């Protein structure tokens, strides 16, 4: 069994799933598609409550697959994903769907907004399938938090790309999920809107919501508390306090396990 890298901490001692400071724990995660090619190989990671992690790596390294396994959107062939005290790899069907809805928020690059619904209705949509519907005033407050209070009744076609992404973020955060998963959330945004989105993620982290984000952008990754590097489906380094220049240098040299800002190297 591989030793978990503790994200947001300089130690590498194994962390028990019952540790209240750990909101998500991945243990020996292996994932492969039908051709039996391993996309992820024995990945073990712990994510403390309120941490913000950026997952990076070369194309095809397994970044999005790791995000989907961690969030229960994909089922690994081996290993466990534990959120709090629940092993979500043992959940199936409606039980898994309900758990994701109650504990996770999602933000994707393509927004995933329904064009026939207003911004407010898109924010409300996930809660409509649960046992506790989000009050409309809370949806509007979530939109106000992302600077869209004047656009609450607009339809997606009447919004810019940055505004659509902020609606998606408001939807992801409105139910105050324990964890926000984001897959390339700024890939289609300009630099100004990207900075605004990063401010929203920092706001979520400051509220003790854990943010786990896949990105290819060094400037975006440098906003996070720590950067997790994947190469060929394996974690090769976890580093805190990296600048965009540090990250760019790691990619240019291919040296992800040792950087000027390293506080923790791969085992």
In a domain, 260, yes or no: no
pLDDT, position 260? 55
Residue 46 belongs to domain with CATH number: 3.40.50.300
In a domain, 267, yes or no: no
* Tens-digit pLDDT profile for residues 195-237: 888 998 999 999 999 999 999 999 999 999 999 999 999 999 9
Q: What is the mean predicted confidence (pLDDT) over 116-138?
A: 89
In a domain, 249, yes or no: yes
| Residue 88 DSSP SS3 | helix
A 10 A CB-CB count for 248 gives 15
- Domains contained in the chain, number: 1
Task: Show the beta-strand stretches assigned E in the chain.
Answer: 5-6, 22-32, 38-48, 52-56, 78-83, 86-87, 104-108, 179-183, 210-214, 226-231, 234-240
In a domain, 101, yes or no: yes
In a domain, 266, yes or no: no
Q: What is the pLDDT of the chain when averaged over all its residues?
A: 87
pLDDT, position 111? 87
**What pTM did the predictor assign?**
0.86
In a domain, 261, yes or no: no
Provide the pLDDT confidence category of residue 264 given band limits of 50, 70 and 90: very low
In a domain, 259, yes or no: no
Provide the pLDDT confidence category of residue 189 given band limits of 50, 70 and 90: confident
* Tens-digit pLDDT profile for residues 47-91: 999 999 999 999 999 999 999 999 999 999 999 999 999 999 999
Percent of the chain at pLDDT above 70?
88
pLDDT, position 1? 47
In a domain, 90, yes or no: yes
Distance CA 32, CA 79 (A): 12
Domain assignment of residue 42, given as a range:
5-253
């Amino acid at each position: 069994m591989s030793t978990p890298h503790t994200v947001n901490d300089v130690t590498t001692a194994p962390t028990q799933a019952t540790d209240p400071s750990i909101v998500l724990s991945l243990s020996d995660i292996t994932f492969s598609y039908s051709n039996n090619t391993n996309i992820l190989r024995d990945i073990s990671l712990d994510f403390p409550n309120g941490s913000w992690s950026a997952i990076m790596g070369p194309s095809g390294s397994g970044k999005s697959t790791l995000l989907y396994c961690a969030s229960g959107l994909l089922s690994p062939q081996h290993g466990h994903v534990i959120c709090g005290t629940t092993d979500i790899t043992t959940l199936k069907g409606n039980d898994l769907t309900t758990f994701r809805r109650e504990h996770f928020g999602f933000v994707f690059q393509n927004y995933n907004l329904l064009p026939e619904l207003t911004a407010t209705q898109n924010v409300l949509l996930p809660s409509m399938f649960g046992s506790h519907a989000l009050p409309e005033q809370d949806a509007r407050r979530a939109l106000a938090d992302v600077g869209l209070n004047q656009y609450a009744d607009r339809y997606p076609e009447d919004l810019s790309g940055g505004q659509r992404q902020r609606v998606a973020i408001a939807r992801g955060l409105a139910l105050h999920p324990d964890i926000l998963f984001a897959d390339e959330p700024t890939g289609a945004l300009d630099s100004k809107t990207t900075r605004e989105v990063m401010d929203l993620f920092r706001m979520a982290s400051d509220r003790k919501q854990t943010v786990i984000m896949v990105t290819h952008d060094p400037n975006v990754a440098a906003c996070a508390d720590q950067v997790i590097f994947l190469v060929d489906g394996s974690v090769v380094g976890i580093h805190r306090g990296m600048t965009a220049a540090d990250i760019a240098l790691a990619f240019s040299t291919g040296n992800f396990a040792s950087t000027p800002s390293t506080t923790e190297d791969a085992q």
